[in-house]
Structures are given as C-alpha cells and as structure tokens.
C-alpha cells in the first residue's frame, strides 16, 4: 500500500504564523483605533489589586454603567502627561452632569480633586496583566526599538534562508524515484550490490490518483516578515504610545478638574455690638452639587484672612452643615496698625499726623491760603490726592516718603482759571478723578506709577458744575452731581466718557450730594431745591422718586464748600440711607429696600447738620453740627440721638474721618484751627491737635484686609476663591 509523504513540517509554521499575524494585527488595530487602551502602572497606590509593573487593559465604559468600586483611568488636573488609575469612591449627579471622586486602594485619603464627566463613557480597567509593564516600558526606549526591529529582521532573514535551504535539498515530488514501498528512500541495501526483488514504482493512476503539489515559498516569505514587523509595531506601540495620545478614540469622557472654588465672595463691615470693635461679614455662592447618596457634596467652608492679596492667609473660622452656611462673620478684628491722618491745612499745606502720638508733619501742596479743598486717599494708603482749588492744581502725595507731585489743571472753558474742588479714587487705587468746578470738567489722573499723569478732560454739566462726585465700589463708574444744570452724569472708568446724563426732577432739581450702596446697585441724589432724595438704578441709569425729606437748604453752602455736600451716608450693609436735613435740624432714615422714610432722628435744638460720617463697623454714626459746635452721636440700631460731643468754636466742626478699627473719630475744626480726637467707646474727646491753620478736610490711611474662602469635605479642600479686598476706613459711608 502506497503512503503519501507527510507535510506536517510545512503546515504548522504557516498556521501558527497566520494566527500570530491575526492576533498581532487585531491588537495593533484595536490600540490604534481606540477599541481598548493599554497602560503600565508605575506606583503602588492601587496595591494589592494592581502592583507596580502590571499592565492594565482599559475599555470604554458607558457613563450610565459607572458605579462606585470601578477602577478608572484619567489625567489629574493640570497634569495631562500623567495617567492615574484609581478606584471610584463617589458618584455625584447634578443638573445633568456627573462628578466622581477617586482614591487609591493603598492611600489613606481620597484624591484632592473631583472629576467631571463631560462625555458618554469613561476608560475603565477591564484586565490586569501582571509584571509585563516594565518590559513594555523598556520597549518604548530608542535602544529597545532598535533591538526589536533588528531582531525582527534577523529572525525573518534566518527563517527565509532556512526555508530556501530546505527547498533546495528536497527533490520535486512528481519526478522523484519511488521504490516498492512507496517512499523516496532506497532500501537498506540499495547501492550495496545486493539484489532484491523489483518493486513497482508508485506513479500517477489516472483520475483516481492525486497530484502532489509543490509547497509555495511565498507563504513563509510573506508570513514570517509580516509577523515580525507586526509584532515589532505592536510592542513599540504598546510601550511608546500614551493612551491619551491615540489619534482616534471613542468620545473622550473624563475631564479631570477640581470642583470650582467658591465664587461671588464679598464682604462688608458690621457691628459687633461695641462701637470700638470691627467685624467683617462675608458671603459667597453656595455649592449645590450632590453626591451619590443625594447628600451635599460640600459639607463646610473655611474663611481665611490676610493683610496682602498674595498672602499668607490664615484661617479665621469655618462653617459646616448640610448644606453649610455660605456666610461668615470675622468678629472683633484686632491688630490694626497705627494710621496716618492727613489734614488739609488752609495755609497751603497738608499735615501728616501720627495716629498714635498725634504729632504733625507739614507737607507743602498748594500756593494759596484758602486751599487745599478736598482730599482723598487710595485704599492701600500709598497715595493721597489733594485738590487745590485756588491755585488750579492737584497734589499727589506718596505717603511712604511724603514726596509731592503737582499737576496743573488746564485753564479756560466756561470760567477761568480751573478750580479743582472734589476728588474720588478707584478701588484699585490706580486712577483719581478730579472735578473742575469752574469749567464743568472731570479729569482722570493716573496715579498708579511713580509719576502721575493727567488724562483728557470729560465735560459734564454747565457753568459751576459739578459740586459732588461718588465712585461706585465696583469701580465701573463715577457719578457726578451737576448742581446748576440739574443733572447727574455717569462716567465710565473704562472709556472715560459720559455714558449717561440723568435729569433730576426733569432737570429742574438741584443735586448737591450723592451716596452709593455697597453693592454699587444704587446711587442716591440729594435734591436741595425740592427737599427730596432720588434713586438712580446704576444698571439702567433710570431715576426714581422723589422721596420727601426735611429741608435740605444749607446756609453754609456758599461759605464752606468743602464741608458740603457731605450730607448723605449709607450703612455698611446698604440697608439704610441717612439724610442730613440742614434747615430742619433732623436726620431722615430711608430703607433702601423700599425707598421709604422709616424714621426721623431729632437732633439737639438749633442743630445744623452739615456732615455725616458712617464708621466701617456701622454701630453708630456721627453728625457734624456746625451750629452747636459739636459732633452728634446717633445709634444705628435705635435710630436715636445718643449724645453730643463738644468740639471747636464758631461754626466748627468742618470735616470728619474715622480710623479703620472704627475706634477713633478725627474732626477738623476750621474756625479754632484744631483737630479733635473722639473715642468711639466713651464718646469723649481724648486729644486735641493744635497748630493747624484752618483745617478743612481729613483722610485717614485705611488697613486693607483680604479674604478667601475654601470649600471642604472630609480631608478634601478646594482651591481658594478669588481674593476679596475690604479696606476698613476707606471711603466710609460712600460719600467722602
């Protein structure tokens, strides 16, 4: 019986190679197309589930199937070159978005971030292959790539050479001699001279015989190199390509980001119950995120305080709850430094007075005996700006050195020369706005650098306008009272142009005083002619009113313009507006929420209130009573007169200012040439500073405080909020 020769030696390499090529091709194609991703774990944060050197196979997981306990891969915030493989420990859903928290199994605390899912799926660990990761990492190096490619080529060449050598030795199957046993081998005694019976050669047997086919050399020639190249590409792809860098992939799903820091932080001074203590009440936007148990994701907030915007910040208190309160009061703030008191001396100087020793140092500014007039200071206390009306100049004083730069306001226009009479400063301290009373012009002056620069004049009103100005606390606009033309001009600080001209009582009113709420939403106008208050909504510049009050007529208006029109004051929380009714000798209290008069405060007989001062803590306010030569103290909580503190003589006091801690009031007594220092705790004069010629204006260096808020949960702390600055003692009451 004839036997066909075996070809097993040729079939199994081809079959294995075909399988290898298929597997390698599928693997490479899957990685490149994003069917799955491969990464090597380098740290032990997931021990014992995943060890350093293990390879994780990542597959796409639908968001709907995401559960606590699954292991996902992601880039941590701000580190897109790093891949973290950690377990999901929380899943929070809020208004259609999903936020998860993660933790390494070997770590004691959760990761300090939240991960927001913005797509339809996440990359989840489906398989862990132990200990081959370091080989793949080695394969990603340049030397390894060279070795892999060289090895692939060498093995391929060797296999091809070996195959050709075997083919050359093997006779063709159809022409080879066949012996009686059907094999190609001769009998044991063939060629040795021993005769054996002849055997019939097995040959072709017509249609029943099968033709032997020669094995094609093309299969191994193609299969071997293809397998080698494919395996090399696979190894180098797995070892060198980060999963986040794959060109094509399913919808990217996991965006790593910290949960947003608290926003909308703001603050205001508040009363602690003692006139000598200051509080700051903070508010911010609360988080509404929920965790997988439908509890609040944020369980607390920490308030921090600093004396510099860049810190360092110190925690001053916390809130907690479910949800935690989004308000905190920093009570009884202490540690305020000794302030410097700047007093305008009508002899053409500004006196720099030490707030503790009360010693004065003169600084020459104007040139006329009737100036300076108005005086203002930056929130950080670094610059003092003085309006010298008689000489038509503005002095910019650097408080650190008492150096003075003089800026001349241009003459001409309606009247000549220029008469700068009022000053306001932006909250950032970069720009001062000075009004020219004679020529109805407001000038911006850049004071941020070492050298102050005068900007282009902005025309407002007519004739002897303006009479008063106020800066919005947000710094967006300056509002100017144009007494003669019966209007209020709104100047944009961004463009230094008039963006609105608002008629008071149809243009027939006489606006002499302005005050602004702490939230910058409303500017109140004192209309002397109509004995009324008007309310301007700053968002639309629409005016409403009138709110009828007492007689605003001020007989001092022509004699002492510096003290007027400071007859409006607003509490630090913006709830109440106080109006000095000069001829009536009363103070009206207006609730800003309803624009209605809620009470009228009766001052001592014969009082002529021509100035108001609201300290930063808002416990009580002070009324300059020029007719009685006294400061009248009024309780804010009771809206009632408390006591009168005698100061000066003959029409004093003239102007007031307060220290940042609300503990002391400095009063300029123009007629007597003195400055009185009143203790807010005892409502008595504790010092009198003499030797000042006709003091008319006062400004005290503030003490900037900066606050931040952090959201907390367990050991996790969010990034801090944007710092909020409050400068107790700066621009008190919103009118100065």
pLDDT in tens, 22-34: 555 555 555 555 5
- Over range 594-606, report the average pLDDT: 94
Query: What would the 3-class secondary structure string for 470-509 be?
Result: EECCCCCEEEEEECCCCEEEEEECCCCEEEEEEECHHHCC
148 and 230 co-located in one domain: yes
246 and 311 co-located in one domain: no
- The closest of 341, 340, 391, 349 to 692, measured between CA atoms, is 349
Give the pLDDT score at 226.
Answer: 54
Asked whether residue 206 carries a pLDDT value surpassing 60, the answer given is no
Q: Which residues pair with 321 in a beta bridge?
A: none
Q: What angle do CA 510, 515, 520 make, to 5 degrees?
A: 130
| Domain stops at, among 332, 361, 387 | 332
227 and 312 co-located in one domain: no
12 and 96 co-located in one domain: yes
278 and 248 co-located in one domain: no
Give the pLDDT score at 506.
Answer: 94
323 and 290 co-located in one domain: yes
This prediction has a pTM of 0.67
Q: Is 488 domain-assigned? A: no
Give the pLDDT score at 482.
Answer: 93
127 and 227 co-located in one domain: yes
Asked whether residue 236 carries a pLDDT value surpassing 80, the answer given is no
Between 707 and 126, the more confident residue is 707
Other C-beta atoms lying within 10 Å of the C-beta of residue 112: 14
Asked whether residue 203 carries a pLDDT value surpassing 50, the answer given is no
| Domain stops at, among 332, 365, 389 | 332
273 and 252 co-located in one domain: no
Q: What angle do CA 100, 106, 109 make, to 5 degrees?
A: 50
Q: Is 138 domain-assigned? A: yes
Mean pLDDT for the chain?
79
Q: Is 606 domain-assigned? A: no
232 and 108 co-located in one domain: yes
Give the pLDDT score at 247.
Answer: 27
Give the pLDDT score at 62.
Answer: 83
240 and 315 co-located in one domain: no
Asked whether residue 549 carries a pLDDT value surpassing 70, the answer given is yes
Asked whether residue 557 carries a pLDDT value surpassing 70, the answer given is no
Q: Is 540 domain-assigned? A: no
- Over range 622-644, report the average pLDDT: 93
CATH of the domain at 148: 2.10.109.10
What confidence tier does 77 reach under pLDDT thresholds 50, 70, 90? low
| Domain stops at, among 289, 317, 332 | 332
Give the pLDDT score at 20.
Answer: 53
DSSP structure string for 326-374: SEEEE-S---PPPPEEEEEETBTEEEEEETTT--EEEEE--SSTTB---
Please tell me the distance from the alpha carbon of residue 290 to that of residue 101, in angstroms, as a whole number.
12
- The closest of 676, 659, 587, 568 to 616, measured between CA atoms, is 659
224 and 278 co-located in one domain: no
- Which tokens sit at 565? 């029109």
Asked whether residue 736 carries a pLDDT value surpassing 50, the answer given is no
Give the pLDDT score at 142.
Answer: 59
Q: Is 72 domain-assigned? A: yes
Please count the structural domains in the chain. 2
Give the pLDDT score at 397.
Answer: 93
Give the pLDDT score at 6.
Answer: 44
Give the pLDDT score at 140.
Answer: 55
Classify residue 160 by its DSSP letter: H
279 and 181 co-located in one domain: no
Q: Is 28 domain-assigned? A: yes
Q: Is 162 domain-assigned? A: yes
Q: Is 166 domain-assigned? A: yes
Please tell me the distance from the alpha carbon of residue 603 to that of residue 586, in angstroms, as a whole number.
6
Give the pLDDT score at 731.
Answer: 73
Q: Which domain holds residue 296?
A: 266-332
Percentage of the chain lying above the pLDDT 90 cut: 39
Between 629 and 734, the more confident residue is 629
């Amino acid at each position: 019986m004839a036997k066909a020769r075996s070809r097993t030696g040729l079939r199994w390499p081809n079959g294995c190679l075909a399988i290898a090529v298929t597997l390698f091709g599928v693997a490479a194609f899957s990685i490149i197309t994003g069917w799955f991703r491969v990464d090597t774990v380098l740290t032990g944060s997931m021990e014992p589930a995943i060890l350093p050197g293990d390879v994780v196979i990542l597959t796409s997981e639908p968001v709907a199937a995401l559960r606590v306990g699954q292991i996902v891969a992601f880039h941590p915030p701000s580190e897109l070159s790093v891949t973290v493989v950690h377990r999901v420990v929380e899943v929070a859903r809020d208004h259609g978005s999903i936020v998860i928290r993660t933790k390494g199994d070997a770590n004691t605390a959760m990761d300090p971030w939240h991960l927001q899912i913005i797509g339809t799926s996440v990359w989840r660990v489906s398989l862990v292959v132990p200990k081959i990761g370091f080989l793949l990492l080695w394969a990603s190096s340049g030397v390894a790539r060279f070795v892999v490619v060289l090895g692939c080529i060498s093995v391929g060449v060797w296999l091809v050479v070996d195959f050709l050598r075997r083919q050359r030795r093997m006779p063709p199957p159809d022409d080879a001699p066949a012996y009686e046993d059907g094999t190609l081998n001769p009998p044991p005694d063939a060629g040795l001279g021993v005769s054996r019976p002849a055997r019939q050669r097995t040959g072709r047997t017509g249609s029943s015989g099968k033709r032997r086919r020669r094995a094609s050399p093309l299969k191994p020639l193609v299969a071997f190199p293809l397998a080698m190249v494919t395996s090399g590409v696979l190894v180098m792809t797995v070892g060198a390509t980060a999963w986040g860098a794959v060109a094509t992939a399913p919808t990217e799903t996991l965006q790593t980001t910290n949960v947003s820091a608290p926003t909308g932080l703001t603050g205001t001074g508040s009363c602690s119950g003692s006139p000598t203590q200051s509080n700051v009440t903070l508010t911010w936007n609360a988080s509404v995120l929920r965790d997988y148990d439908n509890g609040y994701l944020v369980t607390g907030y920490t308030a921090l305080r600093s004396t510099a915007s860049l810190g360092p910040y110190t925690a001053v208190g916390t809130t907690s709850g479910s949800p935690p309160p989004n308000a905190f009061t920093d009570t009884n703030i202490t540690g305020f430094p000794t302030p410097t008191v700047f007093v305008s001396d009508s002899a053409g100087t500004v006196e720099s007075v030490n707030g503790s020793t009360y010693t004065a140092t003169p600084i020459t500014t104007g040139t006329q005996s009737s100036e300076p007039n108005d005086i203002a200071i930056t929130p950080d206390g670094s610059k003092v700006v003085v309006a010298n009306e008689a000489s038509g100049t503005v002095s910019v004083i650097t408080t650190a050195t008492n150096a003075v730069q003089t800026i001349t306001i241009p003459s001409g226009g309606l009247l000549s020369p220029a008469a700068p009479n009022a000053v306001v400063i932006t909250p950032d301290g970069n720009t001062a706005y000075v009004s020219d009373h004679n020529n109805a012009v407001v000038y911006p002056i850049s004071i941020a650098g070492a050298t102050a620069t005068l900007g282009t004049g902005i025309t407002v009103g007519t004739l002897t306008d303006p009479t008063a100005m106020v800066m919005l606390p947000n710094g967006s606009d300056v509002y100017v009272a144009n007494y003669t033309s019966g209007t209020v001009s709104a100047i944009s600080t961004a463009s230094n142009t008039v963006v609105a001209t608002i008629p008071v009582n149809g243009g027939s009113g006489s606006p002499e005083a302005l005050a602004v709420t702490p939230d910058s939403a409303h500017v109140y106008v004192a209309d002397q002619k109509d004995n009324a208050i008007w309310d301007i909504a700053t968002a639309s510049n629409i005016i409403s009113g009138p709110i009828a009050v007492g007689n605003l007529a001020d007989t001092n208006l022509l004699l002492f313009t510096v003290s007027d029109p400071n007859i409006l004051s607003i509490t630090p929380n913006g709830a109440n507006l106080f109006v000095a009714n000069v001829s009536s000798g009363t103070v009206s209290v207006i609730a800003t929420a309803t624009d209605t008069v809620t009470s009228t405060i009766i001052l001592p007989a014969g009082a002529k209130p021509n100035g108001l001062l609201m300290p930063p803590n808002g416990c009580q306010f002070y009324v300059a009573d020029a007719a009685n030569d006294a400061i009248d103290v009024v309780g804010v909580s009771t809206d009632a007169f408390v006591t009168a503190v005698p100061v000066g003589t003959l029409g004093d006091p003239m102007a007031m200012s307060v220290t940042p801690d609300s503990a002391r009031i400095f009063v300029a007594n123009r007629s007597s040439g003195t400055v009185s220092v009143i203790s807010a705790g005892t409502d008595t004069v504790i010092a009198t500073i003499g030797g000042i010629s006709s003091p008319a204006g006062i400004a005290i260096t503030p003490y900037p405080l900066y606050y931040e808020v952090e959201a907390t949960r367990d050991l996790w702390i969010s990034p801090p909020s944007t710092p909020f600055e409050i400068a107790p003692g700066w621009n008190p009451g919103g009118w100065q």
